[in-house]
Amino acid sequence: MRNPWATKMEQFTAFTADERTRLDTVLASRQQAFQAQEDIIADGAHSDYCHVLLTGLACRYKILPDGERQIMAFLVPGDLCDAEIFILKKMDHAVGTLTASTTAMIHSSEMKMLLREASPISEALWWGTMTDLGVLRERIIDQGRRDATERLAHLLYEMLVRYRVSGATETNAIDFPITQTDLADATGMTPSHVNRVLQRFREDGLIELRSRTLTIANPARLKSLAQFSAAYLHLDRTEAKDPAVFARAGDLISVP
């Protein structure tokens, strides 16, 4: 079985064969399939299981009192959907799919065991949580101090990096089922304005985007336009140029 969760964590640390087996076992025990636009876990819900996204694309979001939706993060295979549920009484936001997806379910008790061991696995779980914090902080910077163009550029570039890291692509093209309305809800923009900015990107030869495929035609210029620096992703082994890992995303995150 492909194990994107282990693959993701291996950005941070190397696992022994035993540890990989352990992670494979944990993921295999119980899985769940979702259609597009379905909640993996609803706002305010509780569950005894954490979900790891195995395939598909999901997002964290919240519906505000006035009906508007704010997307706080996109989730790609290997991401933990609701790590907090093992410790908190209920979710303070929802996680929903954008496309048909599958998840692996991990029981809270199993999760607590993994976290309490003095092992690379528990360290990798902490790393994942700390990285999530970094990603959220970067999004705050996006929305506080970058204009619409920079925000969108940053989001597109980050998605490419994360797809590369997760092994979902080896080129500069990614499957991109995210609609312009989704992008608007994630960046705090209007769908119309998202559209106009994307068109400018196309005119300027930065990207191609059609039929659910996004191609970053000029990664270097998009990166500098976005003021992108990969530090907040804490891809330690990639930065250290671990051969197996660096090959996947090194060209995108190199420090200028």
Helix (H), strand (E) at residue 244: helix 243-253
Comparison of 122 and 195: residue with beta carbon closer to DNA: 195
**13 is an interface residue for DNA by CB under 7 A:** no
Of 23-31, 49-57, 138-146, 211-219, the segment contacting a copy of itself by CB under 8 A is 138-146
- Residue 235's alpha-carbon distances to 8, 65, 116, 141, 253, in angstroms, are 10, 37, 23, 20, 9
Helix and strand numbers, DSSP H then E, in the chain? 10, 10
Residue 60: count of CB within 10 angstroms of its CB: 23
Q: What region, left, alpha or beta, does residue 219 occupy, with left being phi > 0 and alpha being psi -120 to 50 degrees? A: alpha
Residue 219: count of CB within 10 angstroms of its CB: 17
Judged by CB under 7 A, which of 180, 215, 218, 227 binds DNA? 180
Rounded Cα distance, 170 and 164, in Å: 6
Comparison of 83 and 178: residue with beta carbon closer to DNA: 178
Comparison of 18 and 147: residue with beta carbon closer to DNA: 147
Q: What region, left, alpha or beta, does residue 36 occupy, with left being phi > 0 and alpha being psi -120 to 50 degrees? A: beta
Question: What six digits make up the tokens of 217?
Answer: 């035609």
Q: How many residues bind DNA (CB under 7 A)?
A: 19
Residue 59 Cβ, how far from a copy of itself at the closest point, in Å?
12
Comparison of 192 and 254: residue with beta carbon closer to DNA: 192
**136 is an interface residue for a copy of itself by CB under 8 A:** yes
Q: Which residues of this chain interact with a copy of itself, rule CB under 8 A?
A: 44, 60, 62, 64-65, 68, 70, 72, 83-84, 87-90, 92-93, 112, 115-118, 122-123, 126-127, 129-130, 132-134, 136-137, 139-141, 143-145, 185-188, 227, 231-232, 234, 236
Q: Which residues of this chain interact with DNA, rule CB under 7 A?
A: 147-149, 179-181, 188-193, 195-196, 198-199, 210-212
